[in-house]
Amino acid sequence: MFSKSKINDPGPKADDSARKAPGAEASQAARPESAGTEFKASAPKAKPPASVLSSDLHVTGNLKTTGDIQVEGTVEGDIRAHLLTVGETATVKGEVIADDVVINGRIVGRVRGLKVRLTSTARVEGDIIHKTIAIESGAHFEGSVQRQDDPLNANKPGQKPAQGQAQAQPRPAGEAAKG
């Protein structure tokens, strides 16, 4: 509990200056600063702010980032992000894939996310594939909801039946009816 404050405490500088002569103080002062710099370099980098697509912006094309996106305008294309927030005035026409999806506006297309949240102002027309979901009272949703442990990397639902049908088609109709 207290070890964190000791790491950040500039206490060793005071000890060094008390023990060393003035000439040695300058060389010792440089070492703790570089050690502090090394510690800061090894610390995780600060998370950049979310990219905001303003309400007057219309994007045609796909968006992909490892960071966060806040959409207030219109996007015609797929979006892949860590956290996607769809604002109340926003419209997204395409597939959405994100770890966290917060929908306040309109999405026409499939939504895939670990955590999906539809607020009371949300309008979703499409399937939602999720690990956890929350739908507030007042949200409009047309489509199916499917829970998966790994919704971001799983096969699309449309692909599984096609593979199954491909295996069933080579059999003659008579054999399929008998077996």
Average per-residue pLDDT in the chain? 77
- Of 77-81, 114-118, 163-167, 174-178, which range is least confident? 163-167
> What mean pLDDT comes out for the span 38-51?
69
Pairing of strands 96-103, 111-118: parallel
pLDDT over 70 at 10, yes or no: no
**Model pLDDT for residues 133-164, shown as the tens digit of each residue:** 999 999 999 999 999 999 988 665 444 433 33
Q: What's the pLDDT at 38?
A: 54
How far apart are the C-alpha atoms of 143 and 135, rounded to whole Å? 13
Residue in 123, 117, 42 with CA at minimum distance from that of residue 88: 123
Rounded percentage of the chain residues whose pLDDT exceeds 70: 61
Asked whether the whole model's pTM tops 0.75, one would answer no
Q: What's the pLDDT at 47?
A: 79
